[in-house]
């Protein structure tokens, strides 16, 4: 059940490495404008939230107070559901529907590269960041319940979370650059 998020990723990867896909979606210009708007709005939600929550976590961690950090960890998880996930959906679904002028997936290299970067970021989020966040919540809960200071283990996990979170943020930032510049990377 936990690994269900790998299914759409596998489907998209298959689409990318076989025939050009999503090139058939021919949409009326006005509808397409709306989809581009939704796509860019998704990018704002997604990138805005991952950057801002990282800042909140860092500020909370500096207090070294288990209650504050516990609150921040839970808020990050909630914000992911409220903003990151809708952002991902708005990037992906409208993103795939506006591909027709660029020859679909497997058509323009900047699209394929952006999708790959976005998927790798998603894999890091699902496979590394979420488990680390859960572990941080467990450790802060333990410290609160036992009225003890946060263990060194928490700070080790937080450092790991910051490093992987940085990578998972950098990849979609590169995708953002590619989206705007639309360079020909290969082909
Ligand atoms: C983190 C990932 C992504 C971000 C931050 C992002 C952001 C953006 C932004 C800001 C634009 C507007 C660029 C401009 O008009 O100059 C754009 C355009 C576009 N995006 Fe994305 N995007 C992402 C991923 C994707 C993916 C995965 C796809 C498709 C599978 C996609 C397909 C497109 C297309 C086709 C356009 C061109 C729309 C047009 O000019 O008519 N994007 N994207």
The answer to whether 102 touches 108, Cβ cutoff 8 Å, is yes
pLDDT value of residue 158: 96
Query: How far does the centroid of ligand 1 lie from the alpha carbon of residue 153, in Å?
Result: 39
Cβ atoms of 165 and 129 within 8 Å: the answer is yes
For residue 146, what pLDDT is reported?
94
Pick the closest to residue 5 from 121, 173, 164, 134 (CA basis).
121
Q: Could you identify the atom of ligand 1 that is nearest to the CA of residue 121?
A: 1
Question: For position 12, what pLDDT does the model report?
Answer: 58
At 36 the pLDDT is 97
Of ligand 1's atoms, which has the minimum distance to the CA of residue 12?
A: 30
Intervals of the chain under pLDDT 70 = 1-20, 24-25
pLDDT (0 to 100) of residue 1:
41
């Amino acid at each position: 059940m936990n690994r269900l998020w790998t299914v759409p990723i596998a489907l998209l990867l298959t689409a990318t490495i076989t025939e050009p896909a999503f090139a058939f979606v021919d949409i009326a210009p006005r509808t397409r404008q709306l989809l581009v708007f939704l796509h860019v709005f998704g990018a704002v939600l997604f990138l805005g939230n991952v950057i801002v929550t990282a800042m909140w976590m860092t500020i909370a961690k500096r207090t070294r107070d288990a209650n504050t950090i516990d609150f921040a960890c839970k808020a990050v998880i909630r914000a992911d559901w409220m903003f990151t996930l809708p952002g991902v959906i708005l990037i992906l679904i409208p993103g795939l529907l506006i591909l027709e002028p660029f020859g679909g997936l497997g058509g323009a290299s900047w699209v394929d590269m952006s999708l790959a970067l976005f998927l790798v970021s998603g894999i890091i989020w699902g496979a590394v960041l979420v488990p680390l966040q859960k572990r941080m919540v467990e450790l802060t809960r333990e410290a609160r319940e036992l009225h003890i200071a946060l263990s060194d283990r928490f700070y080790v996990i937080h450092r790991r979370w910051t490093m992987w979170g940085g990578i998972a943020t950098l990849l979609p930032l590169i995708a953002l650059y590619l989206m705007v510049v639309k360079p020909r990377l290969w082909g």
